[in-house]
Chain A
């Protein structure tokens, strides 16, 4: 007996019980679509986080002094790093504070970041018009500013901001450049910022320290070396080990990658459980179906159906149910994922891997949970089965 005959018989018996078949499949549909939708949320989050970190610049190391632990860093420390550690390409001391920027009758609250000329390299962020800060301006504590897109939009609208004078904490600053748009990631607007020379920023905020030193290493390998160098250097400089916090973006990325992967797996597993429950539903219905059709099985056997014919008939029926459920589940899951990203504004990413996996898993569930009822059917004794009422 051919495979297609089995498929035909299976189709007929599914068709004979349409409502029940549909309800049974529902478990698989929900399971598969949940897997696809939830995994897409997880992967979307993961992609967004890594994109955000990558947009901060590559092979980045952040050094933050911890005041309470006796840590304190100055602009000179940044230059010392650049000079003494060969694996470091740039070191950018930064000072941040928030301030109101005023222009004519408009004012806007934003964060001001004091940096040096190496900043675009380190943070992978460049001006689109005008230019960035130059070394002389850092040395001379010039009152020049490079604005982020959001600030420009809020204060200047469509007007060209270059060469205009704005006021920050009462001091006049000449706008020399506008940064390229970076967009909003995870609710943080990267364009809502104004860059001024770090020296100027120190004077404005009345400090001689820096908040953070951003370091760019030449390569991923160099980043590792640089981290150990920096650690060694500061362990000599400060008595307490926790006086500075050194975070390497590469390490952070790996750690975050691991976390989001765990998160994705967890979501997938939760959805997978619902798929499993769907599978148990399939088994339940198949068992009922075998009992209901005992007489039919007896008749088929009496006229010459072999064990494997009966087995094939029931197994294919359950696989068909699951595969159909899997297919509908994929469509539903993709739709749900789109819906989530539109309504909740989350990034979702449908990975072909998850789709294939969910589909294969559904088919495997059909095979696994169909096997027992099918065996039970195949093992029926024809005489007993014929006697069944």
Chain B
């Protein structure tokens, strides 16, 4: 599903300055995996997620998504990949403030050219899946952080992506909301969607089946994990068998 070969990313914010954010990452994620990426601040987690999510291109190395070499594609192809194969969830939700929950969730399908009745139906289903059937017409400002993140997850999965990526999805949430988000991720993974997310919290990473640790742009640990049953994340209850 995902294959990175010696992927590097060097930022050049100034003329003489170059920041190596990724310094050669080789990594493979097969379909259906549930992966947590961890690491200290500045270790390159977001950079890696952006590359996997086709939001950015590596400055060196090669990246394959479903055997297509993404690192060689143009902007429009990347947009299409993002639209069709990838759902991305951000730490800061990134919902459009002027649109209500339903319209926000519909958005990826607008760009895919799905007609209104069809996309409305699918958006409603996606929102139902994240437990927000009673918040369809609410705007982001009228929703709690946890609810906003669930809208964002609904938006990410409405296009039925094969890959769900999330960069610190629980970073702005309290423990109850975090638990809800992780539970949704578990459910989606059980449906066969590959889920990769970044987190700082060991308790949350513990629910995944694989944990990858980064430091200074390199993978320093990549191990299997056995999620516990009915584990508690702080105060929130998570049931993901």
Contact = CB atoms under 8 A, between A and B. Distances in A.
Nearest to A301: B79
B111 A305 contact: yes
Interface stretch (B35-43, B82-90, B221-229): B82-90
Contact of B88 (A2, A300, A303): A303
A312 to B, nearest CB: 11
A300 B107 contact: yes
A372 to B, nearest CB: 19
Contact of A303 (B56, B98, B111, B113): B111
Given A12-B98, A303-B155, A307-B75, A1 B113 contact: yes
Interface residues on B, range: 20 to 34
Nearest to B115: A2
Given A307-B76, A382-B55, A383-B56, A302 B111 contact: no
**Residue among A306, A308, A386 with the highest chain B CB neighbour number at 10 A:** A306
A304 B94 contact: no
A299 interface: yes
A305 B94 contact: no
B174 interface: no
Contacts of B112: 1, 304
Contacts of A301: 79
B96 interface: yes
Contact of A304 (B50, B56, B80): B80
Secondary structure class of chain B's binding surface, majority of residues = helix
Contacts of A1: 110-113
Interface in A287-323: 295-296, 298-309
**Residue among A296, A309, A382 with the highest chain B CB neighbour number at 10 A:** A382
B108 interface: yes
Secondary structure class of chain A's binding surface, majority of residues = helix
A5 interface: yes
Interface string B91-119: 00011101000000001101111000000
A16 interface: yes
Contact of A306 (B76, B98, B159): B76
A245 B96 CA distance: 79
B82 A304 contact: yes
Contact of B111 (A295, A306, A381): A306
A301 B75 CA distance: 10
B79 A305 contact: yes
Interface in A1-49: 1-2, 5, 12-13, 16
A273 B111 CA distance: 39
B5 to A, nearest CB: 22
B50 A306 contact: no
Given A303-B83, A304-B82, A304-B84, A383 B50 contact: yes
A299 B56 CA distance: 14
A119 B99 CA distance: 79
Interface in B49-97: 50, 53, 55-56, 75-76, 79-80, 82-84, 88, 90, 94-96
Contact of A299 (B79, B84, B94): B94
A309 B90 CA distance: 22
Nearest to A384: B56
A304 B76 contact: no
A296 B84 CA distance: 20
B82 A303 contact: yes
A302 B88 contact: yes
A63 to B, nearest CB: 77
B82 A302 contact: yes
B79 A306 contact: yes
Contacts of B80: 304, 306
A16 B84 contact: no
A304 B56 CA distance: 13
B110 A5 contact: yes
Given A1-B111, A1-B113, A309-B111, A304 B83 contact: yes
12 contacts: A1-B113, A298-B94, A302-B82, A303-B83, A303-B107, A304-B82, A306-B79, A309-B111, A382-B55, A382-B56, A383-B50, A386-B94
Interface of B: 50, 53, 55-56, 75-76, 79-80, 82-84, 88, 90, 94-96, 98, 107-108, 110-113, 155, 159
Given A298-B94, A304-B112, 10 more contacts: A16-B98, A302-B90, A303-B83, A303-B107, A303-B108, A304-B83, A304-B159, A306-B111, A307-B76, A383-B55
